[in-house]
């Protein structure tokens, strides 16, 4: 599972390597990073929450955008590579 807050993709029960090896999943999460960047941290969270209440997760416009981004190869250039220290910390 992954959840984006701002410019950070938080992982649960998965590894960074798993996320990187699944390009569609990575692009989906990177789309959320871009959404945060476009709207700002609190405005994005507010709008995302309202969308989820009104339309549900699957029909939330931000999720629709993120699913569409899964095939957008331009997002492949938007990947941050963590340092060895960060990789060690995430596997602990």
**pTM score:** 0.81
Q: What is the DSSP letter of 12?
A: S
C-alpha pair distances (Å), 64 with each of 6, 29, 35, 55, 75: 19, 12, 12, 11, 16
pLDDT tens, the chain, 92 aa long: 999 999 999 999 999 889 989 999 999 999 999 999 999 999 999 999 999 999 999 999 999 999 999 998 888 777 666 667 766 766 65
- Give me the pLDDT at residue 83, please: 66
Left if phi > 0, otherwise alpha if psi is -120 to 50, otherwise beta: which for 56? left
pLDDT, tens digit (0-9, with 9 covering 90-100), for 49-72: 999 999 999 999 999 999 999 998
**Quick check: 2 and 29 in contact, CB under 8 A?**
yes
30 vs 66: CA distance, rounded Å: 8
């Amino acid at each position: 599972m992954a959840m984006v807050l701002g410019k950070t993709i938080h992982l649960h029960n998965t590894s960074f390597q798993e996320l990187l090896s699944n390009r569609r999943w990575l692009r989906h999460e990177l789309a959320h990073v871009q959404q945060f960047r476009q709207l700002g941290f609190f405005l994005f969270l507010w709008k995302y929450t309202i969308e989820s209440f009104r339309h549900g997760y699957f029909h939330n416009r931000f999720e629709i955008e993120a699913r569409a981004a899964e095939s957008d190869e331009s997002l492949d250039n938007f990947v941050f590579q963590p340092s060895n220290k960060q990789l060690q910390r995430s596997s602990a």
